[in-house]
Amino acid sequence: MSTTRRRRFALIIGVIIAACGCLALGWWQWNRFESTSGTFQNLGYALQWPMFAGFCVYAYRKFIRYEEASPEPPSTAESLTEVPAGLLPERRTAPATSDDLDPALREYNAYLAELAAADKAQEDQNRTTA
């Protein structure tokens, strides 16, 4: 027995409570419409709440149908296992640049390499074992 079948009684109680609550709110909005301070907005809500109650019942029935339906076996012939070539746009490649074209860039990269080497040497000197 599935776990949802064991919980079916609780689901039915929940649907009944939700539908009755929606109908009660519809009745309340109808009374508000009939009062002296009522507006057509209250009339709209009075007509809308019973539809919500109906939707609660409809959703429960749909849930029960999906629960009782046997699952469809996966078809191996129709399932895709790879993305077909040409489906996705091609990734652009970065333009090939050379450090020889820009001497300032070459100097800056050399400076960064010196700083990294100095940091590495300082880390090696500051290491202590406990």
Distance from C-alpha of 61 to C-alpha of 86, rounded to nearest angstrom: 44
Distance from C-alpha of 118 to C-alpha of 112, rounded to nearest angstrom: 10
pLDDT digits (tens, 9 = 90+) for 1-48: 566 667 889 999 999 999 999 999 999 999 999 998 989 999 999 999
Distance from C-alpha of 101 to C-alpha of 3, rounded to nearest angstrom: 70
Angle at 33 between CA 14 and CA 56, to 5 degrees: 20
pLDDT digits (tens, 9 = 90+) for 56-96: 999 999 999 988 887 777 666 566 677 778 888 888 887 76
- Per the confidence metrics, is the pTM higher than 0.75? no
pLDDT digits (tens, 9 = 90+) for 54-64: 999 999 999 99
The domain spans of the chain are 3-68
